[in-house]
């Protein structure tokens, strides 16, 4: 994987991360408005959080490959 490919993928991951954070925000709003129960909130939140952790892990791997180290 070239440096340009890593940088391009890193930008894609940032967009994915932003979208997932927006989903979490929307989900929290649905809970606060009473549109979903606490149980539904927890069930829907968990996979989003897992996806976020995976993205953060991939971003850390890419920073390592680029020699940027931890941020």
Q: Mean of the pLDDT values across residues 40-56? A: 97
pTM greater than 0.85: no
Residue 7 belongs to domain spanning: 1-26
Residue 12: inside a domain = yes
pLDDT at residue 47, as a whole number: 97
- Please say whether the beta carbons of 9 and 48 come within 8 A: no
Residue 1: inside a domain = yes
- Compute the distance between CA of residue 40 and CA of residue 57 in angstroms, rounded to an integer: 27
Rounded to the nearest 10 degrees, how much is the dihedral formed by the CA atoms of 18, 45, 28, 16?
10
Residue 71 clears pLDDT 60, i.e. is over it: no
- Quote the number of domains for the chain: 1
Looking at the chain, the whole-number percentage of residues with pLDDT higher than 70 is 93
């Amino acid at each position: 994987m070239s440096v340009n490919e890593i940088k391009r993928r890193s930008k894609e991951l940032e967009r994915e991360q932003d979208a997932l954070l927006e989903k979490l925000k929307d989900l929290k709003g649905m809970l606060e408005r009473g549109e979903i129960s606490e149980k539904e909130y927890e069930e829907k939140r968990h996979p989003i959080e897992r996806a976020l952790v995976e993205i953060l892990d991939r971003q850390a791997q890419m920073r390592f490959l680029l020699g940027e180290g931890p941020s």
